[in-house]
Amino acid sequence: MFGLLREKLSSFVGDVADNTQIKVSASTKIKSITSDSIVLSEKDLEDTLWEFNLNLLQADVSSETAEYLTQEIAENLRDRKIPKNRLKETIQDTLKSVLTQTLKTEEIDLLENIKAGGKPYLILFLGVNGTGKTTTMAKLARKLMDENLDVVFAAGDTFRAGAIEQLKTHADKLDVKLVSHQRGADAAAVIYDAVEHAQAKNIDVVLADTAGRMQTNKNLMDELNKIVKVNKPDLTLFIGDSLCGNDAIKQAETFNELVGFDAAVLTKMDADSRGGAALSITHITGKPILYVGLGQSYEDLKPFEPEWFINQLIN
């Protein structure tokens, strides 16, 4: 996972830690000859940071996030007195600190929120076509059921052929009640009926599917806004495909602007060789990554832990 981004970050650490790889100015060289420390000027770091920015872009980090990371690292390293024998460790610690700050958002304790809120707790899934919304729904259902919570599915994707049947397959495997209408029905009404059913049966959580849609389709985005207005979900999750890189970042940004969501789930992260999407989505939207998909089975939905992610990137 994240091989390219890990390689680019490691390359940056090596370039700065090894003075021969950066264009250290004559004055810096002279000052450091008789000292056990080094102070890197803005001029010393300029070329290396420019290369670092380009490397981030190659690893699917958005231009806005790459610029932010570059500036923050420059602020942390420029004109700072660094012991020569701890230069590499200092660079690594600086990277970890900046990445930690980038991923820092308001934490969501989903289980605590469900148990503290009234029944049913409505979770709405949204995103573009093919990102894995329905499968992620099923995975989250399994996770909630393992916590002794009752779940019902709402087949809010009434647009795509086979969508209701796909969700029914998961419902049958998990032994979960499915509330559905015929294809082409009003999605907001389907979800409303699922909430009514959950209230009547004292069910804890409603997981509501929606039709995948491109963020540029105004009519379908308006439908999502109607769903949100009618049903007032307790939690709205954007489901993004981590393999889509910058496309996933743009999708998240647009969905957040036009509809709004509370957190994101990144699917297929086990196959992501770049790693830039998680950094960029959190930085640009200000919303946390709640879960990541790391495989095909129902058990392969894992909480996203920033410390784990950063440790994958920086050895």
98 plus 123 within the same structural domain: no
Q: Is the pLDDT of residue 134 over 60?
A: yes
- Report the domain count for the chain: 2
Q: Which pLDDT band holds residue 217 (cuts at 50, 70, 90)?
A: low
Is the same domain home to 82 and 133? no
What value does the mean pLDDT take over residues 29-43? 66
Domain end call among 102, 122, 137: 102
Residue 96 has pLDDT above 70, yes or no: yes
What single string gives the DSSP state of each residue in the chain? --HHHHHHHHHHHHHHHSGGGTT--HHHHHHHHT-SEEE--HHHHHHHHHHHHHHHHHTT--HHHHHHHHHHHHHHHTT-EEEGGGHHHHHHHHHHHHHHHHT------HHHHHHHSPSSEEEEEE-STTS-HHHHHHHHHHHHHTTT--EEEE----SSTTHHHHHHHHHHHHT-EEE---TTS-HHHHHHHHHHHHHHHT-SEEEE------TT-HHHHHHHHHHHHHH--SEEEEEEEGGGTHHHHHHHHHHHHHT--SEEEEE-GGG-SS-HHHHHHHHHH---EEEEE-SSSTT-EEE--HHHHHHHH--
Residues 47 and 179 in one domain: no
pLDDT tens-digit series, residues 253-301: 989 998 999 999 999 888 766 778 888 999 999 999 999 998 889 999 9
Averaged pLDDT for residues 56-69: 90
Instruction: Choose the final residue of a domain: 78, 102, 126.
Output: 102
At 18, the pLDDT band (50, 70, 90 cuts) reads low
In a domain, 81, yes or no: yes
Residues of the domain holding 15: 3-102
pTM over 0.85: yes
At residue 30, the pLDDT reads 43
Mean pLDDT for the chain overall: 86
- Residue 158 maps to a domain: yes
> The CATH number of the domain where 42 resides is what?
1.20.120.140
